[in-house]
Structure 1
């Protein structure tokens, strides 16, 4: 946190650090997209590039900017603000700077994704949408994390960790109202509303209301359900409703319903939170270091294994609703729509949070043939 830095660097040093991190991020994006486009199944590899390379690098950049107090240094170039707001504004500027590094890293990949998926998505449109997401998320994270300044790491590290976990859970529970702030959404009306309701009914997906995510030329056909147990909201992209027929859409929504019934999201979230708390406690010296590290690793292995089993159970639930062959065909069509090559694994990856898509399809088809 910026608050941890007693003496922030000069403005020129902060700018130099930001420019250096941004240039490295842009270079990673350029090299990454060149490599990925030469690999098999490039769309899937782009997802790995974002999740395994670029996102961790942006987190590292945020940590560098925060621990060196760059946010406070950037504020010196702005008009003076009340002292009470300095900490909040410093955090927002730091998040925004890290978000700008993400944009610089993301920019070189837009053209590559457009080419391998053969979609007509303008670079300016992609960057504009990502910029809105970055600014909105920076503001939300600032509001959420500002209360953590009340908790002193030196006096009560355990209270700090528990407060952080509570804030993360609270942020996830308000996500039905948060997502419309970060992305363009609309409420379905008329025939579209009737169709979505019928699809959900056939799929066995019970939600309180529905929002359409406007994807325009992105051609991303996906669904997600978020919210507390008594207020589930379905977000479905406009492309999903445009390109999939009722049979395919019902099967994919049935998988989503199966994930809700088997608590896939809760298992993943619980695994990450418990493992993170144990890891943080180990690093901060709250309890025995090595047993806590072992606990963190054990929770990850068991939680991810259980999550993979629950995904298979969600597929089984969907198969009960519409048939195994229909679900397999729907997953195949989903892969074709996104130019994904269904991957298969001879040996399961214990650190994978997902089941290989090709293995899911093969399992359903084998069961359907029987």
Structure 2
């Protein structure tokens, strides 16, 4: 009996060996992708496409391979002495996600030098990897905890699965103000910075509970986001956003965020994810006709993403009503210039994108 128990315990060495191979492949994929992106027009835009279209799917693929090899269960067995119980399941999820994230970090590392050259910034490879590593660890922990309810109940129907997925997405979206603050270095604005942000928010018509400044260091990413549920929305602005944008540009970009709140852009994205994930997971779990469920997931994704693009345009319109269409268009052009990004334009919208091409947004605002 003892021998049978030993045989049933997942071995840690095989998945770790495959993880090492995947890390090496990640470095190769990242280096090859970076070499191509640097030689194309609009390299910054191509790097963003590389991250979303190649490196992220590669990391997800690595996570899937490691899950098939039971890396998480092997880690849980080694740490806790078994794989039974919710604690072991959450630890297994965390280990699997962290393994996929490690592969993603390995693929990201060779691109840092190319981004530094394309944007003309003094970005330290070590600092960038440390910041991204903290983000990967934090997100892996949060997602593993959010998936915890999946291990508390035996899901026997798509309806039960939908309920658990809705709960997980609600935790991620509702807890975003604290999650972002936990995985990123932030400071609370004081003095003149606080007064300036208050004036800019009032000018843009943006109502939030509080504001935190994200330290971007040499990364020089000038972004702004609003996260959280109604009643506790938190504004995140980067230090570069405050340094590089004048008040007119900053107010216009904040007005876009106010428009996104009115248009419920983040809510639509969350609903789209759940609507597509329910039939997809049900198909993988064998809870119904596989190809019908896969088709339903694909249709839900297309419809949801189209609604998201419509909401992005509506947010631009709302911002134009607040501060003027030309002011918003100028702000988007300034945003592109700060990031060495050439605004792209598409004759046909990308059906698998939740965003509208930046150049199309600017042209549309100019047309008003």
Q: Same fold (TM over 0.5)?
A: yes
8 A Cα contact 1:158 1:281, kept in partner: no
Give the aligned partner of residue 341 of structure 1: 342
**2:249 is the alignment partner of 1:262:** no
Using the alignment, how far apart are the partners of 1:307 and 1:91 within structure 2? 30
**2:91 is the alignment partner of 1:93:** no
8 A Cα contact 1:264 1:310, kept in partner: yes
Number of aligned positions between the proteins: 361
8 A Cα contact 1:8 1:69, kept in partner: no
* Change over 3 Å in CA distance of 1:92–1:307 after alignment to 2: closer
Q: Unpaired runs of 5+ in structure 2?
A: 1-6
* Change over 3 Å in CA distance of 1:226–1:64 after alignment to 2: same
CA-to-partner distance for each residue in 1:229-284, whole Å, 9 max, x for gaps? Answer: 12111111111011100000001111111111111221122112112212223343
- TM-score for both structures, normalised by structure 1: 0.91
Using the alignment, how far apart are the partners of 2:165 and 2:72 within structure 1? 21
- TM-score for both structures, normalised by structure 2: 0.91
CA shift at 1:289, angstroms?
Answer: 4.2
CA-to-partner distance for each residue in 1:315-352, whole Å, 9 max, x for gaps? Answer: 11111122111111111000000111101112223333
Give the aligned partner of residue 41 of structure 1: 42
* Change over 3 Å in CA distance of 1:206–1:79 after alignment to 2: closer
**2:157 is the alignment partner of 1:150:** no
Give the aligned partner of residue 53 of structure 2: 52
Question: What are the residue-to-residue correspondences of 1:166-185 with 2, within 5 Å?
Answer: 166-185=167-186
8 A Cα contact 1:271 1:299, kept in partner: yes
**2:92 is the alignment partner of 1:125:** no
Give the aligned partner of residue 140 of structure 2: 138
CA-to-partner distance for each residue in 1:72-124, whole Å, 9 max, x for gaps? Answer: 33456658589754433333322222222121111111111111011111111
Give the aligned partner of residue 196 of structure 2: 195
Using the alignment, how far apart are the partners of 2:225 and 2:143 within structure 1? 21
Give the aligned partner of residue 111 of structure 1: 113
CA shift at 1:161, angstroms?
Answer: 4.4
CA shift at 1:156, angstroms?
Answer: 5.2
CA-to-partner distance for each residue in 1:147-176, whole Å, 9 max, x for gaps? Answer: 3222335x5565244313311221210111
8 A Cα contact 1:324 1:365, kept in partner: yes
8 A Cα contact 2:90 2:148, kept in partner: yes
* Change over 3 Å in CA distance of 1:261–1:156 after alignment to 2: closer
Q: Unpaired runs of 5+ in structure 1?
A: 1-5
Using the alignment, how far apart are the partners of 1:318 and 1:7 within structure 2? 59
Give the aligned partner of residue 322 of structure 2: 321
Q: CA RMSD in A?
A: 2.2
